[in-house]
């Protein structure tokens, strides 16, 4: 993208001024180098989002933004129902509530290095990964309803973890107002055998070492220390969320003219928040959020069992679990007044600042942990929300490095075996059922994570707490 076509608000903030059907500006948070590396489609999509009814303040793009379906991935937008605001299935995405959970441990690198190969094999055996993989859990129709309503609380009640886990999960493990009855039979059928599975694509389970601490106070509050071992789990609502997204995008596209909505792009299919269709989608989407939270809770239980079999004295505690790909009802200050908004985050993460009342007491002083997944070879980051993030982009931050290369390009560039061997030479063990999937997710297919995180921090979206590097990666 040519930065000369944008208005530069500051070193890391850029604006596309309203024109045509845009109701508000589009704002991109990134360094000049990241802007230049972005596809022109990112600006086009952010501008199209700015044309949707009831949008508040601006359409935002995070430093990791890249082309997506309708909304850019890394897109954030908030809508006010009182102003005719809409909810967009494309603004949430297909993998509803895909997110990251971080577990802290009482282990150091030396503990893992002594058993690393065995640990990698046991994790790979215990945690089902890959396209279409099923788990050991089989849900009846009644249990499916209970899971879609109960989220991680449902999983804990059935023995997959403890009550302490719930305090460290967004929404305390369950988002209210889910409507399982709005989830189709096909979506349910796709999920009944997939609970406790990792999935494919960019989903992963990683054993990591904390390589660097940037904020000692926040790191201490989070239970992080240099040299300590953490585990990150990245996955979502599996086939159920994808089916919900597919079905409602079609319905919204067909219904848009009846609502008087002229779509700048059919992929931005939406419905008024207060319409029957809008409420039906929100109910189904919340059910998918609960599905993802339950899934990550079950995976946490499987990971603990795997560690117990290799390192019996290991203790794994939830640091935090936060989703991207959601639409949440939140209160934000707009024009000096608190306002209830429907905040869409697609490939973006909520980032409450210090003192926010919805944070657990132990985390409130430091701010919300913001979990930024990287690639298999480059590591990840733990950030913290900032006080100024609320005025920047409705308390939102980036969610990862962002792709620099399509999956097809990656397949033409690397083989899965080449990637596995290269990472093994660096001391990183990869376990995956698919060489193709490994090639698609090659580290070189992603942007420079350090540059993305640096831009997020410089823009005031979140601040760096710690950087981690992978030791073992279970890849879907």
- Catalytic amino acids? 399
Contacts of 412 (CB under 8 A, 6+ apart): none
Do 431 and 120 meet the contact criterion of CB atoms below 8 Å apart? Answer: yes
Dist. CA 411–CA 376, nearest whole Å: 16
> Distances in Å between the alpha carbon of 237 and those of 233, 288, 380?
13, 6, 22
H and E: helices and strands count for the chain: 16, 19
Contacts of 345 (CB under 8 A, 6+ apart): 75, 76, 324, 325, 326, 327, 328, 396
Q: Are strands 316-323 and 326-334 parallel, antiparallel or unpaired?
A: unpaired
* φ, ψ (nearest 5 deg) of residue 274: -85, 0
* φ, ψ (nearest 5 deg) of residue 380: -140, 175
Dist. CA 264–CA 266, nearest whole Å: 7
Dist. CA 161–CA 277, nearest whole Å: 36
DSSP state of 270: E
CA torsion, ordered 281, 282, 283, 287, to nearest 10 deg: 100
């Amino acid at each position: 993208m040519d930065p000369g076509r944008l208005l530069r608000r500051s070193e890391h903030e850029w604006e596309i001024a309203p024109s045509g059907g845009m109701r508000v500006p589009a704002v991109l948070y990134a360094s000049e180098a990241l802007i230049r590396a972005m596809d022109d489609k990112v600006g086009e999509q952010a501008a199209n989002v700015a044309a949707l009814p009831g949008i508040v303040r601006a359409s935002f793009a995070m430093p990791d933004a890249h082309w997506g379906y309708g909304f850019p991935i890394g897109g954030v937008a908030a809508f006010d129902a009182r102003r005719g605001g809409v909810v967009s299935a494309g603004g949430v995405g297909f993998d509803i509530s895909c997110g990251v959970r971080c577990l802290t441990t009482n282990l150091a690198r030396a503990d893992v290095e002594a058993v690393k190969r065995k640990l990698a094999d046991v994790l790979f055996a215990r945690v089902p990964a890959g396209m279409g993989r099923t788990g050991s859990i089989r849900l009846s129709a009644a249990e499916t309803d209970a899971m879609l309503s109960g989220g991680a609380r449902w999983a804990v009640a059935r023995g997959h973890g403890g009550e302490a886990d719930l305090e460290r999960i967004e929404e305390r493990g369950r988002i209210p107002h889910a409507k399982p009855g709005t989830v189709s039979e096909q979506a349910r059928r796709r999920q009944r055998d997939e609970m406790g599975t990792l999935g494919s694509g960019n989903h992963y389970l990683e054993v990591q070492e904390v390589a660097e601490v940037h904020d000692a106070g926040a790191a201490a509050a989070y239970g992080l220390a240099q040299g300590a071992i953490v585990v990150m789990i990245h996955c979502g609502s599996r086939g159920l969320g994808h089916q919900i997204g597919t079905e409602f995008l079609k319905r919204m596209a067909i219904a848009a003219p009846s609502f008087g909505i002229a779509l700048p792009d059919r992929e931005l299919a939406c419905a008024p928040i207060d319409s029957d269709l809008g409420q039906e989608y929100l109910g189904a989407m919340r059910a998918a959020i609960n599905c993802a939270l339950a899934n990550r809770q079950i995976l946490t239980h499987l990971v603990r069992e795997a560690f117990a079999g290799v390192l019996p004295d290991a203790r794994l505690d939830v640091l935090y679990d936060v989703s991207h790909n959601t639409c949440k009802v939140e209160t934000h200050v707009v024009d000096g007044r608190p306002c209830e908004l429907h905040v869409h985050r697609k490939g973006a993460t909520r980032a409450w600042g210090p003192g926010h009342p919805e944070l657990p007491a132990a985390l409130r002083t430091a701010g919300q942990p913001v979990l930024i997944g990287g690639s298999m070879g480059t590591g990840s980051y733990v950030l913290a929300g900032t006080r100024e993030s609320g005025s920047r982009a409705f308390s939102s931050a980036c969610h990862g490095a962002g792709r620099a290369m399509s999956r097809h390009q990656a397949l033409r560039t690397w083989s899965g075996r080449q990637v596995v061997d290269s990472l093994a030479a660096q001391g990183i063990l990869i376990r995956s059922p698919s060489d193709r999937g490994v090639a698609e997710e090659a580290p070189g297919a992603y942007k420079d994570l350090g540059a993305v995180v640096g831009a997020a921090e410089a823009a005031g979206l979140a601040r760096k707490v710690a950087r981690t590097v992978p030791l073992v990666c279970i890849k879907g």
